[in-house]
Amino acid sequence: MRVVIELRPTAELITAVADPDVRVAAADVAGELPGLDLDPDFEPVAIPWLGGPSPSMSPEHATVVVRGRIGDDPDEHRRISETDSVTGVFADPAIEPVLTCGGDPAVGDWHAVAALLRADDLAKAGLTGQGVALAIVDTGINAAQVEKVRGGRLTIDAARSWNPQGVNGTAGAFPVDHGTMCAFDASLAAPQASFLDLPVLRSARQGKTQMDGLLSDALAAYAHLRTVLTNQPAATRALVISNSWGSFAPSWDYPVGQAGNYSDNPAHPFNVIVGSLEAAGADILFAAGNCGRDCPDARCGYPDRPITGANSHPSVLSIAGVDTKNQRVGYSSQGPGRLTDRKPDVCTYTHFTGSGAFGDEPDTGTSAACPVAAGLVAAIRTKWSATALPPARLRELLQRTASDRGGQGFDYDYGYGIADTAALLAELRRTPDRA
């Protein structure tokens, strides 16, 4: 099976791996590990330590991840795990876009969504996303398609975009697909954001579908985004990350309770790097998934609690879906989450006529709801940096100002409710835009 191996090599190697200007071979980090078929093309990734008041890349605390394959023999797994330098062996499951199983026609169009988001009010307040880095971690963006449908210009920040190993293509010029839908939907509230294109779901490797991606590629993408974030001046730090994908089935993972598990394990390296990036100032949003009890996606393999792994991380916004009539769509995953109970966090809009990425099919699934919410967050970041308004505080404001649909505050269908731009802006007017 595919795995990521977490190691604690020498301080010199950890320092080198953590330096974005230095290239370190996987073999130099891993050495000779029994039974591991090491992937030499995967660049090692440094994982910060979260045991102190802030994430630490200190060589005394940080670790490094490589990836490869091991056999299914438990003894082989044990031999690697017991090697002195190894601190963990973790699942590297496939990740796929959160598409919908719903065949119902669209409910409203993107103009209706923009009105519900109060895009005009945001623009009048100067909250357009200008200068805000908005990363779409998906199949790649086709900017021309977004511009054709929406009009105007979609700014692609090619210098800060990133391709996984083996993925060829130019930022903003990938084939029209799921990632184009996500970029379009994010642009409804943040039309002037700087879009970072990270086509992780085009990972070039053998898999059962063209859309398969390895979680380790997302791990490497997040290491790149950490550099993007820390290179920003603290006073204007703003990085919003939209993730409309997830791991659908326990068969893709180590069993729950085993040390290498991803779905329920906060110590998995990807879950660790998500927490560290949020602590450094990134707003991270994940689709809640399309495993709702009324209309689950055919890939859904969890009998209950389908919001798994980073999609249920306490430091992210987990986004559920409603239509333009404010009704929950039947495929939107319900909580509780696996890493934290109170998931999803809030809802935004989906199942509307929008990007045209799939012809006449609507922009759908929590795949659409997630970037709609990411655009709203990016719009807010135009004036309120992560230094002035830390991500945890912004999440709390979004939760507290959401329009309650369940009638009892938080519930597992709607989370805290539907994101309410007007109520959020009213609250933000009382919040200083400088730290």
Domain that holds residue 27: 2-91
Q: Single out the residue of 421, 362, 377 nearest to residue 116, CA to CA.
A: 421
Task: For residue 185, give the amino acid letter.
Answer: D
d(CA 316, CA 239): 13
205 domain residue, yes or no: yes
Answer yes or no: do 198 and 284 share one domain.
Answer: yes
Answer yes or no: do 238 and 207 share one domain.
Answer: yes
Answer yes or no: do 71 and 173 share one domain.
Answer: no
Answer yes or no: do 190 and 102 share one domain.
Answer: yes
290 domain residue, yes or no: yes
Q: Single out the residue of 172, 229, 179, 228 nearest to residue 203, CA to CA.
A: 179
d(CA 104, CA 171): 33
66 domain residue, yes or no: yes
Answer yes or no: do 72 and 207 share one domain.
Answer: no
pLDDT tens digits, residue range 100-139? 666 788 999 999 999 999 999 999 999 999 999 999 999 9
pLDDT tens digits, residue range 249-273? 898 899 999 999 999 999 999 999 9
d(CA 229, CA 48): 15
The one-digit pLDDT tens for each residue of the chain (435 residues) are 889 999 999 999 999 999 989 999 999 998 888 888 999 999 999 999 888 777 888 888 899 999 999 887 777 778 888 888 899 999 998 888 776 666 788 999 999 999 999 999 999 999 999 999 999 999 999 999 999 999 999 999 999 999 998 899 999 999 999 999 999 999 999 999 999 999 999 986 545 544 456 899 999 999 999 999 999 999 999 999 999 999 988 988 999 999 999 999 999 999 999 999 999 999 999 999 999 998 898 889 998 999 999 999 999 999 999 999 999 999 999 999 999 999 999 999 999 999 999 999 999 999 999 999 999 999 999 999 999 999 999 999 999 999 998 777 899 999 999 999 999 999 999 888 876
Answer yes or no: do 389 and 245 share one domain.
Answer: yes
Q: Which bin fits 202, alpha (ψ -120 to 50), beta or left (φ > 0)?
A: alpha
- Tokens 């369940």, located at residue: 406
434 domain residue, yes or no: no
Answer yes or no: do 77 and 106 share one domain.
Answer: no
240 domain residue, yes or no: yes
Domain boundary, last residue among 91, 112, 127? 91
133 domain residue, yes or no: yes
3-state class (DSSP) for residue 218: helix
Domain boundary, last residue among 91, 106, 130? 91
270 domain residue, yes or no: yes
Decide: 193 and 71 in contact? Cβ < 8 Å.
Answer: no
d(CA 87, CA 64): 10
Answer yes or no: do 206 and 275 share one domain.
Answer: yes
Q: How many domains does the chain have?
A: 2
Which residues, 6 or more positions from 178, have their beta carbon under 8 angstroms from its beta carbon?
A: 97, 99, 138, 139, 201, 211, 244, 357, 367
Listing DSSP states for 266-284 in one string gives TTSHHHHHHHHHHHTTEEE
The two three-digit tokens of residue 157, written as one number: 């920040």
Partners of residue 86 on adjacent β-strands: 7
CA distances from 1 to 4, 156, 257 (A): 10, 36, 18
The enclosing domain of 367 has a CATH number of 3.40.50.200
435 domain residue, yes or no: no
End-to-end CA distance of the chain: 47
Q: What torsion do the CA atoms of 251, 257, 258, 262 make, to the nearest 10 degrees?
A: 60
Q: Which bin fits 36, alpha (ψ -120 to 50), beta or left (φ > 0)?
A: beta
- Tokens 């970037």, located at residue: 371
Answer yes or no: do 103 and 59 share one domain.
Answer: no
Answer yes or no: do 239 and 276 share one domain.
Answer: yes
Answer yes or no: do 138 and 257 share one domain.
Answer: yes
Domain boundary, last residue among 91, 122, 137? 91
Q: Using omega within 30 degrees of 0 as the cis cutoff, is the peptide bond preceding 344 cis? A: yes
CA distances from 254 to 92, 268, 357 (A): 9, 11, 34
Can you give the length of the chain in residues? 435
Answer yes or no: do 189 and 207 share one domain.
Answer: yes
